[in-house]
Amino acid sequence: MQVNNTTRLSALIVLGSALVSISSFAEANAVRYYSANLDNSLWYMANNTQLNCELEHVIPRFGKVQFHSEASKQLNLTMTFDMNQLPDNYSVARIESVPPQWQPGQNSYSIGSMDLYKQFNGELKKQAAWTLLSELDKGRYPTFLYQDWYNPKDQVAVAISAVNFRSAYDAFKGCINALLPFSFEDIAYTVLNHKADSDELTAPSQRKLKQISDYLKVDADLKLVLIDSYTDALGAREPNQTLTEQRANAIKSFFVERGIKADRIQTVAHGEDRPIDHNDNEIGRQKNRRVIVQLNKSSDVEL
């Protein structure tokens, strides 16, 4: 018998010493069932920072599920179906929302599907992942149903337990709300501009500089901050060189004052060398008055 009879599947999920009578279910329906029971259902925050939020749940003898969100301009979420034994071919898993025993009279219903690829973990993107979380928040059991790859007589049912979910979910939502509203890629290479004849940044560049500072405080993987300072060609070469040194050091001081270690920061003052535009008009000169801040996760960088 196929496992598309969701009413019978729902009736078999019970609470007690175990959530389901696995042996009788498998014998009657040729289904292998995996789920945490009342005693071993555990949800925990695997990562809780302003860069990454990870909520995990172990499914005994099967693997785990992980919900992940990271710092970005846009709210994002993925769910990873981390299996101990990866698929041996392509298939599709149905996803049913199954009610627990303490919700008598409730029916199971479909909430989507997930593609399973050979030798890859399954994954659900933003909308589908949020749907699973909302079903768990209601106390229901999102259950993945698919044909076994190694035994054509078997179906597999994998349920995500809602037991002990809500407190961990609240922590996960709190972590998401605290994520930085930008990613490493957004600030890894940043061009800052100065006002004319000054080491004062323009207002937009001041906002960018604060973003970089906020990121540096929370990413321990960053090994090196490179600050390259340039100016326009107005005036004499020596004062221009001095001005770029002042600008580079001012930005370095800004980072150090906010707790960034000085040995993680290197500055190079280029003076009026390496212009990127003409110096015969203000638009071109403004482009040349720049500081480039580069963030590197490896200290092996050629200067």
Tell me what pLDDT residue 104 has.
Answer: 78
pLDDT band at 237 (very low <50, low <70, confident <90, very high): confident
In the structure encoding, which two tokens stand for residue 85, read together? Answer: 């034994």
What would the pLDDT profile of 63-87 be if each residue is shown by its tens digit?
999 999 999 999 999 999 999 999 9
What would the pLDDT profile of 12-26 be if each residue is shown by its tens digit?
443 332 333 333 334
Question: 192 has which bridge partners?
Answer: 291
SS3 at position 208: helix
Give the whole-angstrom CA distance, residue 97 versus residue 144.
9
Tell me what pLDDT residue 300 has.
Answer: 52
**Residue 189 reports pLDDT greater than 80:** yes
Has this prediction a pTM greater than 0.85? no
Mean pLDDT, rounded, of the chain = 85
Give the whole-angstrom CA distance, residue 62 versus residue 72.
31
Name the nearest CA neighbour of 143 among 42, 1, 16, 20: 20
What would the pLDDT profile of 96-139 be if each residue is shown by its tens digit?
999 988 777 889 999 999 999 999 999 999 999 999 999 999 99
- The per-residue DSSP string of 73-111 comes to SS---EEEEEESS--SS-EEEEEEEE--TTSTTPPPEEE
What would the pLDDT profile of 196-226 be if each residue is shown by its tens digit?
767 788 889 999 999 998 998 898 888 889 9
Domain architecture of the chain: domains with CATH: 6-177 (2.60.40.2540), 184-296 (3.30.1330.60)
In degrees and rounded to multiples of 5, residue 230 shows phi and psi of -135, 160
What would the pLDDT profile of 252-288 be if each residue is shown by its tens digit?
999 898 888 898 899 999 887 888 777 777 778 778 8
Tell me what pLDDT residue 2 has.
Answer: 39
Name the nearest CA neighbour of 254 among 287, 208, 218, 197: 208
pLDDT band at 173 (very low <50, low <70, confident <90, very high): very high
Give the whole-angstrom CA distance, residue 54 versus residue 84.
19
In the structure encoding, which two tokens stand for residue 238, read together? Answer: 């020596």
Tell me what pLDDT residue 287 has.
Answer: 83
Tell me what pLDDT residue 28 has.
Answer: 43
**Residue 5 reports pLDDT greater than 60:** no
What would the pLDDT profile of 131-166 be if each residue is shown by its tens digit?
999 999 999 999 999 999 888 889 999 999 999 999
